[in-house]
Amino acid sequence: MPDQKKTGRPTDNPKGSPIHVRLDAESEAILNRYCKQEGVSKMEAARRGIKRLKSDLKEE
């Protein structure tokens, strides 16, 4: 049997950079409330938060 690459769900935006974060109690509570309010996963909420940082970046 030839080597076959495993495939998952097709996507236009693959997510290949894992991240691990430790949160204090206040940050976790805010994250949980946001996720419940918006109906999104913790990772989706984190992605949204990271994208909001873009406006704070200085030109290189």
Which amino acid is it at 56? D
User: Rg (Cα) of the chain, in Å, rounded?
Assistant: 17
Average pLDDT over residues 47-60: 93
pLDDT higher than 70, residue 2: no
pLDDT, tens only, 12-44: 888 888 999 999 999 999 999 999 999 999 999
Question: What's the pLDDT score for residue 33?
Answer: 98
The reported pTM is 0.73
Burial 4-31 (b: 16+ CB within 10 A, else e): eeeeeeeeeeeeeeeeeeeeeeeeeeeb
pLDDT higher than 80, residue 5: no
Average pLDDT over residues 2-9: 70
